Amino acid sequence: MNIDFYELMETNPVIAAIKDNEGLDTCCLCENVRVVFILYGNICTIGHMTERVKKAGKVAIVHIDLVEGLSNKEIAADFIRFHTKADGIISTRPSIIKRAKELGLHTVLRIFILDSMALQNVQKQIAAAGPDMLEILPGLMPKIIGKIKGMTGVPVIAGGLISDREDVVGALSAGAISVSTTNPKVWEM
């Protein structure tokens, strides 16, 4: 894993996750935000959005599964690498994470921990993908955050339902390297 990416996440524990143009405008003006997870867009707009994030001096990570017009095939990572200014991608698909790593992009494997079967499947997904980091959702599970960090050795980002300082502190205390949230009030903490 790129140590600079790890250090960036560790020293900037709140990630702005944006889901619309208002969030894009807000995060670009927010001095505390250094990393932006782009959770929307299409193949016609994603290049412009990553360019705006980069011009604001921030790291742009695109949730590739949520970009309309891209397939669920590895070639989607090539599109992001060669047609945008993105620094990395998020995906739930290990094959796309693996391809993005081959292309030199930072990678975040997003995993929904809904039950014990999903938890047991984490190591298999990591082995298939080799991500730089994991994002687990929902992020309000301190025991699970600690368990996943311990069993995988991969840095964990807590995402989903993070809405206040208590949630941030709880996730970080449990071992998460950072949290991602769409709540602009949390970005300013």
Residue 2 has pLDDT above 60, yes or no: no
Task: Note the pLDDT tens digit of each residue in 96-136.
Answer: 999 999 999 999 999 999 999 999 999 999 999 999 999 99
pLDDT class of 30 with cuts at 50, 70, 90: very high
Dump the DSSP string for 85-130. Answer: --SEEEES-HHHHHHHHHTT-EEEEEEE--SHHHHHHHHHHHHHH-
Residue 1 has pLDDT above 90, yes or no: no
Q: What's the confidence (pLDDT) of residue 97?
A: 98
- Secondary structure E strands in the chain: 14-18, 35-38, 59-63, 88-91, 106-112, 133-137, 156-159, 178-181
Q: Domain for residue 104, yes or no?
A: yes
What value does the mean pLDDT of the chain take?
95
Range of the domain at 153: 3-184
Q: Domain for residue 50, yes or no?
A: yes
pLDDT class of 189 with cuts at 50, 70, 90: confident
Q: Domain for residue 189, yes or no?
A: no
CATH number of the domain that 153 lies in? 3.20.20.70
Burial of 147 (0-12, 13-18, 19+ CB in 10 A): middle
Q: What's the confidence (pLDDT) of residue 3?
A: 59
Tally Cβ neighbours within 10 Å of residue 11. 10
Task: Note the pLDDT tens digit of each residue in 45-94.
Answer: 999 999 999 999 999 999 999 999 999 999 999 999 999 999 999 999 99
Structural domain total, the chain: 1
Q: What's the confidence (pLDDT) of residue 70?
A: 96
